[in-house]
Amino acid sequence: MTDDRSPPRVAAAPVMQVEVPEYRSLSSLAVLALVLGLASATVMIGPFFLVVAGAAVGTALLALARIRSSEGSLTGSLPALAGLALAVAFSVAATVRLEVRNAYYRQQIDAVAQRFVDLLADQQYEPAIAQLTARAAARLRPQTGRGQPAPPDDQVLAYAISELRDNPLAQALGHGRRIELEFEQFENLPEEERGSVMTAARYRMRDEGRLLPERLVVQCLRTPGFEAEGTPWRVDGWGLRAAN
C-alpha cells in the first residue's frame, strides 16, 4: 500500500522590489548664488558693491531656470532662492540707508550754506572766513614769492576780507539783503572717502519771495576733524551760475 500523500507545497514568498531613489545633483549655480547673496552685504559699504548683488540675482535666476529645465536631475532651489532673497534685501537696505544719509547731509549742508550767505550779506567777513576749509581760505590769502617771508596775520586777514568783499556772491548780496536759499539738487552725490565727505549742492535764491535768475552752487566738506570741533561741515567753494 502506497502513501499517496505528498508533502505540502510551500508558497514562494513574493519578491519585494526596493525603489532606489533617483540621484539628484546639487546645482553649482545655486551654491554660487547663495555665496554671492551672502557677499551682497558689502553693498552697505558703498554703492559700487551693488554689482555683487546684481550678480547674485542673475546667478540665482539662472540657477532656478536650469533646475526647472533639468526634469528632476538637479536640485538646489532653496539655496538659489536664499541667495536671491539676500541680494534683494541687502540692496533695499543699502538704498534706504543711502537716502536717509543724504537727507541728513542735505539738512546740515542747507544750514551751512544759508549761514554763509547771511554772514556775507551782513558783511561779517571774518566769521564767514572761519566757516571755510583751509583750502578755500588759502585762495583768499596774498601770494608771496619764493623765499619771501609770509606777511603778518593781520595783513593776511585784511587781504582775505578784501577778497571776500569783492567776491561776486558778496557783491550780489549787497548790504543786509535777506536771501533765502531753496535746495534744488546735489551737483554730485555725497561720496565718502577715508572718513571725509565731499559734496556740492545747487540752490535757488529768493529775495523777499522773488526768485532770482542766478543759482548758487556751494561745495562743502565734512571731516572727522571738523566734527570734533563741533562744525561737521565747512564751505570748500562757491559760485553763482546763470539759470538754464
pLDDT, residue 244, reads 65
User: Which pLDDT score is estimated for 220?
Assistant: 95
Domains in the chain: ranges and CATH: 25-100 (no CATH), 105-142+152-242 (3.10.450)
Which tens digits make up the pLDDT trace of 133-177?
999 999 998 887 677 777 888 888 999 999 999 998 988 887 667
**Average pLDDT taken over every residue of the chain:** 86
Residues 121, 176 contacting (CB under 8 angstroms): yes
- Reported as a pLDDT band with limits 50, 70 and 90, residue 239 is very high
List pLDDT tens digits, range 82-111. 999 999 999 999 989 888 988 999 999 999
Please report the pLDDT score of residue 13 as a whole number: 58
Cβ neighbours of residue 15 closer than 8 Å, sequence gap 6 or more: none
pTM: 0.71
| Mean pLDDT, rounded, for 66-71 | 90
pLDDT at residue 204, rounded to an integer: 94
The arithmetic mean of pLDDT across residues 210-232, rounded, is: 91
Angle at 212 between CA 210 and CA 216, to 5 degrees: 130
Q: State residue 236's pLDDT score.
A: 95
**In the structure grid, which three cell numbers stand for residue 54, read together?**
546684481
Tracing cell 533695499 back to the chain, one arrives at 92
pLDDT tens digit sequence for 5-15: 666 665 555 65
Q: Pick the residue with more confidence: 128 or 20?
A: 128
Q: Which residues contact 122 (CB under 8 A, 6 or more apart)?
A: 176
